[in-house]
Amino acid sequence: MLHSRRYKACCLAAFFALALQGCIAKTAVDVVTAPVRMASKAVDFATVSQSERDERRGREIREEEERIGKLERQYDSYQRDCENGDRRACKKARETYAELYPDD
Nearest to 74 by CA among 96, 90, 95, 42: 96
Q: Average pLDDT per run of 10 along the chain, which is 104 residues long?
A: 62 60 62 71 73 92 96 96 95 94 82
Contacts of 68 (CB under 8 A, 6+ apart): 100
Q: Write out the H or E segment, with its range, that includes residue 65.
A: helix 50-83
Residue 18 has a pLDDT of: 59
pTM score of the predicted model = 0.51
Residue 29 has a pLDDT of: 61
d(CA 104, CA 101): 6
Residue 12 has a pLDDT of: 61
